[in-house]
Structure 1
Amino acid sequence: MSQVRSPHKDAYTLILEAIDVGVYKPGDRLVESDLAERFGVSRTPIREALQRLETQSLLARDGRSLIVSSLDHNQMAELYVVRTELEGLAARLAARHATEEEVRVLRDMVSDDHRLVNDPSALARANRRFHKQIHLASHNRYLVQQLDLVHRSMALMATTSIAVEGRGEDTLVEHAAIVDAIEARQELAAYEALRDHISKAFVTRLKQESDS
């Protein structure tokens, strides 16, 4: 069944978003004809999008098929090292450059997300929106671009650390502390609060991995 698509989204974006929200998970096989039907586009832009995603290592070869890539332990650890530093920098710059309106949006996000604590999938999506808002509030286009690449790779993790019992509540407490620091224009505190937040998420994910 084809789905209604935005005229402003190309095949690459449509496939990327489908991976990001878990429609296609690590190990799933992507077939040109199926994707063309699902998104209501011709096979040529689908083929070009798949080639681009393979070049970015978001897709991998399995014989003649393309599958959604997965991250091994070392890749995940390397990704978190980069993410921790870039996210911390985004928070530091947001504390310096965020407008009052942007801070208000962040504050409202934290408040609104409390209703999602018992819905890990919805809270995970809200978490991505929150972090994206901080990236934008940094007012540094090059940093935003690099963080977009990092978050695309995060989509290759089959589970979300937020699904762990108690992690949802902790996440929102940590988000509130980040916003407090940004609002107070405390650059170092914002940097440290966001790095600490990512570090705790990584520890949770490592525990998930050891229990699986």
Structure 2
Amino acid sequence: MRASDRAYAALRDDIIEWRLLPGTVLAEVEQSARLGISRTPLREALSRLTAEGLTTAGGRGVVVTDISLDDIDELFELRETLEGKAAALAALRGDAAVFRALQEELLGAPALLNSPDPNRHDYYELVGRLDTAIDAAISNSYLAQAMRSLRVHLVRVRRLAADDQARLTAAAAEHAAIAEAIAAGNPRLAEAATTVHLHRSLSHVKAVHASAQKEPHG
């Protein structure tokens, strides 16, 4: 892997996981030393992050972007349009057996999340497999690419509220309902189940974000 690709992947992960907080200045000398690369590949990585909207270049240099409540509203407006359509197309074009299997796994997800040692990594991996299955089922490369670009920002928003056990458990049931509707070949139900999930997710994320804005991230 090229040095610029490694730097991009490392910085992107740090931003999405909130290890690099909004407002952090990504100074070239400091980041080059931290990542063990020269400044040229670092600049390439920073340019890619800026193109994705994860950083912005200004007078202070390259800075990690903030996520405001307005940003969250806009992201979810786009998400409802794209994901609702994708779920409907997946119901029409997808392999029912694939989504029935995912539904069964999602119905078992609360056991992962509510065990004495909750396994959120496996849960997020399962949700990622549902996303991948929908992307494959819709047979529309442009729509799939648009959703992949959007998910970069959604993962960042999601991590903001990742520790809420009750919300994750409810979201697992909502994802199971989406998979069930797709498996049933019912596009209207699949789109409706997606809309319900997104509405509940948006309400929760905005509430958590508003609370987090009152305190420094830690």
What does the per-residue CA deviation read over 1:187-211, in whole Å, with 9 as the maximum and x for residues that have no partner? Answer: 1100110111011100112222344
Give the alignment of 1:36-185 within 5 angstroms: 36=32, 41-61=37-57, 63-100=59-96, 102-104=98-100, 106-107=102-103, 109-111=105-107, 113-118=109-114, 119=118, 122=121, 123-124=123-124, 126-157=126-157, 159-185=159-185
**What is the CA distance between 1:69 and its match in structure 2?**
0.8
Contact conserved, 2:113 with 2:165, CA < 8 A, in 1? no
Distance in structure 1 (CA, Å) of the matches to 2:101 and 2:70: 35
| Unpaired segments ≥5 residues, structure 2 | 213-218
Superposition RMSD in Å: 3.1
Name 1:29's counterpart in structure 2.
25
Q: In structure 1, give the amino acid aligned to 2:196.
A: D
Q: Secondary structure at the match of 2:157?
A: coil
Distance in structure 2 (CA, Å) of the matches to 1:13 and 1:94: 30
- Identity among equivalent positions (%) equals 28
**What is the CA distance between 1:64 and its match in structure 2?**
2.7
| Unpaired segments ≥5 residues, structure 1 | none
| Structure-2 change in CA distance of 1:66 and 1:108 (3 Å) | farther
| Structure-2 change in CA distance of 1:152 and 1:50 (3 Å) | same
Distance in structure 1 (CA, Å) of the matches to 2:137 and 2:206: 30
Aligned residue pair count: 207
**What is the CA distance between 1:153 and its match in structure 2?**
2.0
Q: Secondary structure at the match of 1:166?
A: helix
What does the per-residue CA deviation read over 1:95-130, in whole Å, with 9 as the maximum and x for residues that have no partner? Answer: 112224532552354155334314485345644443
| Structure-2 change in CA distance of 1:137 and 1:20 (3 Å) | farther
Distance in structure 2 (CA, Å) of the matches to 1:170 and 1:77: 21
Q: In structure 2, give the amino acid aligned to 1:53.
A: L
Structure 1 range deviating more: 123-132 or 196-205 = 123-132
